[in-house]
Structure 1
Amino acid sequence: MATNADADAHLDAREVEGAPFDDIVAALDELGGEDTLVLVNSFEPEPLYDVLEERGFAYEAEQIGPDEWKVYITHV
């Protein structure tokens, strides 16, 4: 699994006002071919997984605490 040290970009969805989907998509659009985005969320963002797969991304999710998930996202 990737780590924070491997991350080229970081987005904490808990700090985004409103729905974070547009911010997530913008971060994905800026991600280079070998880059890793770490998405932090207060819950496992399962609805996002289909979108990631459709856009050609792989992901690994890890629960850090009761209200903290990290999803490591890379290009396939």
Structure 2
Amino acid sequence: MNTDNMIVEIDVREDIKQKIEPFSKIMNAVKSLEANQQLVLHAPFNPFPLFKVMKKKGFTHHSEQIDKKHWKITFSPMKGEFL
């Protein structure tokens, strides 16, 4: 199985640096996901408020701090959840 097709990545660090609200960009990426695809988000902080929104949409998350201002958050569909 080719895992490259299973991941959609977006990076909102520059948006936030430019004071551009990234929520709609993130939600558009979520809407574009196919069943079983993961969303990998790169952000300058761990976006706690987003976790509740994504949980309601049927996703779990795993956060990893890459650098001082670089977090990689992987959102995966909950088992039994299909978009």
Task: Output the TM-score relative to the length of structure 2.
Answer: 0.79
What count of residue pairs does the alignment treat as equivalent? 72
How far has the Cα of 1:56 moved from its partner? 0.8
User: Which residue number in structure 2 is paired with residue 13 of structure 1?
Assistant: 12
- Per the alignment, in what secondary structure is the counterpart of residue 34 of structure 2? coil
Matches within 5 A, 1:26-45: 26-45=28-47
User: Which residue number in structure 1 is paired with residue 61 of structure 2?
Assistant: 59
- Per-residue deviation, residues 4-57 of structure 1 (Å, max 9, x unmatched): x68521100113351000000000111111111110000000110000111111
Letter in structure 1 aligned against 2:73: V
Mapped contact 1:7–1:38 kept (Cα < 8 A): no
Using the aligned pairs only, state the percent identity. 32
Mapped contact 1:63–1:69 kept (Cα < 8 A): yes
Structure 1: runs of 5 or more not aligned = none
Is 1:71 paired with 2:73? yes
Q: Distance in 2 between matches of 1:21 and 1:42?
A: 14
Larger Rg: 2
Mapped contact 2:60–2:76 kept (Cα < 8 A): yes
Question: Residue 6 and residue 63 in structure 1: after superposition, are their counterparts in 2 closer, same or farther (change >3 A)?
Answer: farther
Shift >3 Å, 4+ stretches: none
Q: Distance in 1 between matches of 2:45 and 2:11?
A: 12
Mapped contact 1:6–1:36 kept (Cα < 8 A): no
